[in-house]
Amino acid sequence: MAEAKKFGLAGVMGWPVSHSRSPVLHNYWLRHYGLNGAYVLLPVDPALLPAAIAGLPALGFAGCNVTIPHKVNAMKLVDHVDPVARRIGAINTIVVEADGSLSGYNNDGFGYIQSLRDAHQEWRADAGPVLVMGAGGAARAVIVSLAEQGAKDIRICNRTASSAHALATEFTADFAQASDAAKGAVVTAVPWEKRHDAVAEVVLLVNTTSQGMGSNPALDLSLDQLPLQALVSDIVYIPQETPLLKDAKARGNPTAGGLGMLLHQARPAFNAWFGVMPEVTPALRQKVEATL
Ligand code: ATR
């Protein structure tokens, strides 16, 4: 046991997982902070997820990240689930506790909020209506984090209307009963056909869809009616400047790219596993950018 503790071990479970940038950033931090340890790729077939997670303590792991397609199922396989993760409905981090039990967290929303603050220190969640494009897992983390920061009027616009409605109903009911800053936040669904008009009133526009990623087409959204001071953010980080961000910049809107979310979500996990809250620095950013 003492031997295992001297060498900190963590990793990322996904399927596939070879594209993950998490090893680059966690191994950078391990070296930077002079810690003895390693962060490894853990390709885990979905059918073997229960065995893989149950094996973490025996293998001497401090914990791991979980990514696509395991984020929802992994939540059911840990002993304790953090309230934020419970609200989001998925975990992205597992911590092996001293007694060998497993705790699940979701730091994606934390990463998202920090990335906005990094880009724009004066940003406030309660400044006005927010429009979230997309209604998948990433949208859930973004919506929860915005509500917990005090956003009161969150609008969801999704190609498939039923998913937007389901999220709006679930979160409005959840936030109505909240005892934290999310209390009273109202989440509504905006029809996909109305998306070009829906940008007219918002102070924050966020893309959580896969549009604009890699070789996918750009998000089909006109910014013509968007107020010029509205912040435009994209959680896509390949490319770093998505067509949406390019459009926004060209018309003078402030923007925030997706890389910041990836970098910042990793910080609380690293802290939980290795005991140091790491910093996102220009050097780290460069290191990860070089792999994109
Ligand atoms: P994640 O967990 O990363 O959010 P996801 O759950 O697959 O991924 O969600 C992807 C999001 O991108 C969804 O909101 C999806 O819309 P649908 O619910 O209609 O599928 C959105 N999306 C994917 N392809 C899209 C497209 N061509 N146009 C608009 N939205 C798209």
pLDDT at res. 247: 98
Phi, psi of 42 (to 5 degrees): -125, 85
**Segment 61-76, tens digit of pLDDT:** 999 999 999 999 999 9
* Rounded distance from Cα 210 to ligand 1 centre (Å): 6
Catalytic residues: 71
Nearest-atom number in ligand 1 for the CA of 134 is: 14
- The mean per-residue pLDDT over the stretch 21-49 comes to 98
**Is 5's pLDDT higher than 80?**
no
Site to substitute for ligand 1 among 140, 159, 195, 216, most atoms within 8 A of C-beta? 159
* Rounded distance from Cα 134 to ligand 1 centre (Å): 6
**Segment 269-281, tens digit of pLDDT:** 999 999 999 999 9
Q: Across the chain, what does the average pLDDT equal?
A: 96
Nearest Cα residue to atom 22 of ligand 1: 209
Structure tokens at 248: 């926004």
Structure tokens at 114: 């920090």
pLDDT at res. 6: 75
* Rounded distance from Cα 133 to ligand 1 centre (Å): 9
Nearest-atom number in ligand 1 for the CA of 208 is: 4
Phi, psi of 120 (to 5 degrees): -145, 95
Query: For the chain, how many residues are written?
Result: 292
Pocket of ligand 1 (CB under 6 A): 134-139, 158-160, 163, 208-211
